[in-house]
């Protein structure tokens, strides 16, 4: 099938996955209000009333996934439409869909025991994911902005979702204020880009920048503003201030969701804008990205070192991973872009997986989050212990896990651009990260439990087991047999502008 976007109907086809998600978001919402989800006090969290909504939402994700697979058979004509139908977008969609599905799976127990409004919760996750997919597929700055807002507003609500918890409300407000502020920068950046190049379409901007038609001064300011806007969303240091508090305060499944897919959406859009639209002004933004990457890696890893709360540690760790991904943006070449997609996928899986175990250990409240709460955890719950150890090793980038292959991929991208200093910073900060990831592992395996029955209440209901099984299996699979995934990401970035023509080795 071919889409040439001369008819509005073609956009319907091109946006099928997003539309399905939005429709299901509304269906779940309506299904949620028809019955009270509070009527069942106890019972199995996997099949209570709230859980039905969760399974319904999963069906929506599955259908969107099928639509996304179908889009692989669709050809687009030209590359100036508002929505791209290319491998890059479709692969990014996989990441968002996987993240949404996993988040829903790990939320069952949490929603049940915290008595959250299941319908609204799951529907917000679907709507946020649709927003992310708009960001990943947009070829127009305005569409990116729309996607950003759809996503952000849903996530603000999700952050503050646990009304019984003050921290959650505080986090929501903080996120909302700072997020709105950063969106202002972003919007102003778009306006200036329009002023400089006369268009909001990324491809058109790209050609006008490369032909030297865009006013360079205005463009530099616009790029700086966009960097700030994106910097907030991907929580790059020094725009990360909101992250630890928000991640710590938000309900744990939401934190998992935010740290994985909100970040992924930010990076996907960032990469497309900078590699396609501002390809020719690489010299302008290269040093900015270089420093942003370096500061993020160093700062986040150092701050993560001193955290004793595991949730907060994972928050800083997610900032650090953002730093590694910024290295790929700085490198801005074929393997870096492919590495970024690969890493985002793996990161989504391992991070949500780690959060899933954290939710289990936290039990009925958000209390058991200290690293001491993991004392002897491995020996009393060996399966969960091994699974969490694998996630930690993968986050640390250890061989045998997808995290290692991902890190090698990013380093290859950096090598192709001859960013040797940045590579060294990346590996040295990885060394720092060993400390805080292994700290959890040593409490788990090398200390004895504080009390005999300390880990008896740890919960891992069926949906969470499914999520853990899927993530662990894929992380090990990509750790040992990454070939298929590497080929897929390699193909996925082909449609993304003419990045291979970039001058490699732009000075250090």
Partner 1 sequence: MTVLLETIGYSNWILHALVWLPVLGVAVVLGTEERKAKTVAFWCSVIVLGLSLGLWWAFDPTISGFQMESTATWIEAWGVNYSLGIDGISLFMVMLTTFSTSLAILGSFNYIRVRERAFYALMLLLEAGVVGVFVATDVFLFYVFFEITLIPMYFIVGVWGGERRIYAAIKFFLYTAFGSLLMLVGILYLFYQTKNILGFPSFAYGDFLGISLTEVEQLWLFAAFALAFSIKVPVFPLHTWLPDAHVEAPTPGSVILAAVLLKMGTYGFVRFLLPLFPLAAQHPVIVATMLMLGLIGIIYTALVAAVQPDAKKLVAYTSVAHMGFVVLGVFALNVNGLQGGLIVMISHGLSTGALFLLLGMLYERRHTRTIEEFGGIARVAPWFATAFVITALASIGVPGTSGFIGEFLALLGTFESHPVIAIFATLGVIFAAYYMLPMVQSVFFNELETPENREVKDLTGREITILAPLCALMIWIGWNPTPFLDRMELSVRAVIERVESAASTPQAFGETTGVYQPEEAD
Give the shortest CB-445-to-partner 1 separation in angstroms: 6
Task: Draw the binding track, 140-169, toward partner 1 (x: CB under 8 A; -: no contact).
Answer: ------------------------------
CB closer to partner 1, 12 vs 480: 480
* Contact of 112 with 359, CB cutoff 8 Å: no
Binding of residue 281 to partner 1 (CB under 8 A) = no
Binding of residue 77 to partner 1 (CB under 8 A) = no
* Contact of 475 with 353, CB cutoff 8 Å: yes
Give the shortest CB-322-to-partner 1 separation in angstroms: 20
Give the shortest CB-483-to-partner 1 separation in angstroms: 5
Q: Looking at 21-29, 123-131, 204-212, 443-451, which segment touches partner 1 (CB under 8 A)? A: 443-451
The string of DSSP codes covering 292-313 is HHHHHHHHHHHHHHT--BHHHH
Binding of residue 434 to partner 1 (CB under 8 A) = yes
Task: Name the H helices within 363-455.
Answer: 377-380, 382-396, 402-416, 420-446
* Contact of 213 with 70, CB cutoff 8 Å: no
Binding of residue 487 to partner 1 (CB under 8 A) = yes
DSSP 503: P
- Compute the distance between CA of residue 107 and CA of residue 17 in angstroms, rounded to an integer: 22
Give the shortest CB-378-to-partner 1 separation in angstroms: 9
> Which two three-digit tokens encode residue 125?
């996750």
Q: Looking at 12-20, 228-236, 277-285, 428-436, which segment touches partner 1 (CB under 8 A)? A: 428-436
CB closer to partner 1, 119 vs 378: 378
CB closer to partner 1, 196 vs 344: 344
Work out which of 415, 462, 466, 470 binds partner 1, going by CB under 8 A: 415
- Compute the distance between CA of residue 222 and CA of residue 195 in angstroms, rounded to an integer: 9
Residues 383-412 binding partner 1 (CB under 8 A) are: 393, 398-400, 404-405, 408, 411-412
Binding of residue 298 to partner 1 (CB under 8 A) = no
Binding of residue 445 to partner 1 (CB under 8 A) = yes
Binding of residue 379 to partner 1 (CB under 8 A) = yes
- Compute the distance between CA of residue 424 and CA of residue 426 in angstroms, rounded to an integer: 5
Q: How many CB atoms lie within 10 A of CB 378?
A: 23
CA max distance for the chain: 71
> Which two three-digit tokens encode residue 235?
């929580």
Binding of residue 427 to partner 1 (CB under 8 A) = yes
Binding of residue 431 to partner 1 (CB under 8 A) = yes
* Contact of 310 with 358, CB cutoff 8 Å: yes
Give the shortest CB-408-to-partner 1 separation in angstroms: 8
Nearest Cα residue to 427 out of 396, 394, 390: 396
Binding of residue 371 to partner 1 (CB under 8 A) = no
Task: Draw the binding track, 331-370, toward partner 1 (x: CB under 8 A; -: no contact).
Answer: ----------------------------------------
Give the shortest CB-477-to-partner 1 separation in angstroms: 13
CB closer to partner 1, 81 vs 412: 412
CA–CA distances in Å: residue 98 to residues 340, 346, 347, 488: 16, 11, 11, 16
Task: Draw the binding track, 447-486, toward partner 1 (x: CB under 8 A; -: no contact).
Answer: x----------------------------------xx--x
Helix (H, G, I), strand (E, B) or coil at 502: coil
Q: Looking at 146-154, 197-205, 435-443, 457-465, which segment touches partner 1 (CB under 8 A)? A: 435-443
Task: Kindly state the helix (H) or strand (E) to which residue 76 belongs, with its residue range.
Answer: strand 75-76
Binding of residue 503 to partner 1 (CB under 8 A) = no
Work out which of 177, 283, 424, 503 binds partner 1, going by CB under 8 A: 424
Give the shortest CB-5-to-partner 1 separation in angstroms: 33
- Compute the distance between CA of residue 103 and CA of residue 99 in angstroms, rounded to an integer: 6
Q: Looking at 114-122, 202-210, 309-317, 432-440, which segment touches partner 1 (CB under 8 A)? A: 432-440
Residue whose token pair is 């990469």: 271
Nearest Cα residue to 417 out of 275, 223, 317, 320: 275
DSSP 260: I
Q: What phi and psi, each to the nearest 5 degrees, are found at residue 205?
A: -60, -45
CB closer to partner 1, 12 vs 420: 420
* Contact of 405 with 346, CB cutoff 8 Å: yes
Binding of residue 438 to partner 1 (CB under 8 A) = yes
Nearest Cα residue to 328 out of 373, 399, 267: 267
Give the shortest CB-351-to-partner 1 separation in angstroms: 20
Binding of residue 79 to partner 1 (CB under 8 A) = no
Task: Draw the binding track, 209-228, toward partner 1 (x: CB under 8 A; -: no contact).
Answer: --------------------
CB closer to partner 1, 72 vs 442: 442
CA–CA distances in Å: residue 419 to residues 120, 226, 276, 330: 46, 23, 21, 9
Per-residue b or e along 323-337, where b marks 16 or more CB atoms closer than 10 Å to that residue's CB: bbbbbbbbbbbbbbb
Task: Kindly state the helix (H) or strand (E) to which residue 75 belongs, with its residue range.
Answer: strand 75-76
Binding residues for partner 1, per CB under 8 A? Answer: 379, 393, 398-400, 404-405, 408, 411-412, 415-416, 418, 420, 423-424, 427-428, 430-431, 434-435, 438, 442, 445-447, 482-483, 486-487, 490, 505, 508
């Amino acid at each position: 099938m071919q889409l040439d976007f001369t008819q509005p109907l073609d956009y319907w086809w091109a946006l099928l996955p997003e539309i399905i998600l939005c429709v299901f978001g509304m269906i779940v919402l309506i299904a949620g209000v028809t019955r009270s989800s509070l009527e069942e006090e106890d019972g199995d969290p996997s099949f209570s009333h709230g859980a039905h909504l969760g399974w319904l939402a999963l069906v929506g994700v599955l259908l969107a996934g099928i639509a996304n697979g179908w889009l692989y058979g669709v050809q687009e004509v030209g590359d100036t439409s508002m929505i791209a139908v290319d491998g890059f977008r479709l692969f990014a969609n996989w990441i968002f869909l996987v993240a949404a599905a996993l988040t829903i799976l790990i939320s069952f127990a949490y929603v049940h025991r915290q008595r959250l409004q299941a319908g609204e919760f799951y529907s917000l996750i679907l709507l946020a994911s649709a927003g992310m997919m708009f960001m990943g597929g947009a070829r127009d700055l305005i569409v990116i902005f729309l996607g950003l807002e759809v996503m952000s507003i849903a996530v603000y609500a999700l952050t503050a979702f646990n009304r019984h918890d003050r921290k959650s409300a505080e986090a929501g407000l903080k996120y909302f204020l700072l997020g709105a502020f950063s969106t202002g920068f972003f919007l102003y950046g778009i306006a200036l880009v329009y002023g400089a190049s006369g268009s909001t379409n990324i491809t058109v901007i790209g050609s006008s920048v490369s032909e030297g038609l865009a006013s360079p001064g205005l463009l530099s300011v616009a790029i700086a503003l966009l960097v700030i806007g994106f910097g907030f969303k991907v929580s790059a240091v020094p725009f990360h201030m909101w992250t630890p508090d928000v991640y710590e305060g938000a309900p744990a499944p939401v934190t998992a969701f935010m740290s994985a897919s909100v970040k992924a959406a930010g990076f996907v859009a960032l990469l497309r804008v900078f590699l396609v639209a501002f390809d020719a002004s690489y010299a302008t933004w290269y040093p900015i990205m270089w420093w942003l990457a370096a500061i993020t890696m160093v700062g986040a890893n150092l701050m993560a070192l001193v955290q004793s709360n595991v949730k907060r540690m994972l928050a800083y760790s997610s900032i650090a991973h953002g730093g590694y991904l910024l290295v790929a943006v700085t490198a801005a070449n074929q393997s870096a872009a492919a590495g970024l997609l690969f890493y985002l996928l793996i990161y989504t899986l391992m991070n949500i997986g780690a959060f899933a175990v954290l939710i289990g250990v936290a039990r009925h409240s958000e209390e058991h989050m200290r690293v001491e709460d993991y004392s002897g955890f491995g020996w009393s719950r060996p399966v969960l212990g091994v699974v969490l150890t694998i996630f930690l090793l993968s986050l640390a980038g250890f061989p045998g896990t997808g995290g290692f292959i991902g890190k090698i991929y990013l380093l290859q991208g950096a090598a192709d651009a001859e960013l040797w200093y940045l590579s060294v910073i990346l590996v040295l900060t990885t060394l720092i990260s060993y400390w805080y990831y292994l700290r959890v592992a040593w409490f788990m395996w090398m200390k004895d439990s504080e009390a005999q029955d300390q880990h008896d209440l740890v919960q891992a209901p069926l949906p969470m087991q499914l999520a853990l099984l899927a993530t662990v299996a894929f992380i090990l699979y990509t750790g040992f047999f990454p070939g298929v995934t590497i080929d897929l990401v390699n193909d996925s970035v082909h449609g993304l502008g003419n990045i291979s023509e970039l001058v490699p080795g732009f000075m250090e």
